[in-house]
Amino acid sequence: MSKIITINRQFGSGGRELGKRLAEELGYAYYDNEIITQIAGRSGLAEDYVSSIVEKKPIVYYPITIGRTFLAHTPAPVDFNTQIYSEQHNIIKELASKSDCVIIGRCADYILSEHDPFKLFVYADMPSRMERCRAKAPTDEKPLSDKQLARHIKEVDNERADYYKFFTGQKWLDAEHYDLMINTSRMVIKEFVPALATMIQNKK
């Protein structure tokens, strides 16, 4: 069975950078936006539209348990949103069956529970997250005020938490769901990834 690492992360915490560097250190495949590209190809929907839907709770009017029904391939009400979630589920399963890999977000820890993935959660304090967001912002983009940026960061986190709750019935920030929670506040991610990779390799 493939070795799988799943990473859930707060917005601006550096979770994507950590995941990519960890995959490179371990020689694993890395899956993030590649999943969106595959969903778009299979569904015939534009990548921009797919990207705007993933990791956001669907706007629906039926019980929360239906979210987990989608993942179980049981018939459920179908629209573009549910089609995307269904494709995402199938793609994540397929990717995990091919090779050792690191997968970012998208309830992969829940979807791949039978693979017993190593589940990481990456978080940081607000000043560190704001600093990372500003460092990665396009140079031609009008900068947000501290208040606006903090609000945006919280909004993205709330969307991710709602999405996770809808599809898993679990709390996104519940430490019991993870093997390791990493605080990247004021840390240089590339400096501790080698030690993290060694720890994961030595995990029994």
pLDDT value, residue 50: 82
Extended beta strands in the chain, E state:
4-9, 29-31, 101-104, 118-123, 180-183
pLDDT value, residue 61: 42
HSE of 27, CA atoms in CB hemisphere, 13 A: 3
Q: Domain boundaries in the chain?
A: 4-195
pLDDT value, residue 59: 58
Please name every residue paired with 123 in a beta bridge, in sequence order, or none if there are none: 183
Residues sharing a CB contact under 8 Å with residue 64, sequence separation 6 or more, in sequence order: 165, 166, 169
Residue pair 104/15 in contact (Cβ under 8 Å)? The answer is yes
Q: Measured between alpha carbons, how far is residue 105 from residues 6, 17, 40, 198 in Å?
A: 7, 13, 18, 22
Sign of the CA dihedral 52, 164, 102, 89? negative
- pTM of the model as a whole: 0.85
Q: Return the higher-pLDDT residue of 184 and 75.
A: 184
DSSP state of 155: H
Q: Give 75-122 pLDDT, tens digit per residue.
A: 444 455 677 888 888 999 999 999 999 999 999 999 999 999 999 999
Residue type, 51: S
Percent of the chain at pLDDT > 90 equals 60
CATH class of domain segment(s) 4-195: alpha beta
Q: Give 53-85 pLDDT, tens digit per residue.
A: 776 666 554 444 444 554 544 444 445 567 788
Q: Return the higher-pLDDT residue of 39 and 178.
A: 178
pLDDT value, residue 70: 47
Q: Where are the alpha helices (DSSP H) in 44-145?
A: 47-53, 65-71, 80-98, 108-111, 126-136
Q: Return the higher-pLDDT residue of 144 and 82.
A: 144
pLDDT value, residue 65: 43
Residue pair 189/18 in contact (Cβ under 8 Å)? The answer is yes
What tokens does 165 get? 């709750």
pLDDT value, residue 62: 43
Q: Give 22-38 pLDDT, tens digit per residue.
A: 999 999 999 998 888 88
Which value, to the nearest 10 degrees, does the dihedral of the CA atoms of residues 1, 110, 187, 155 take?
Answer: 150
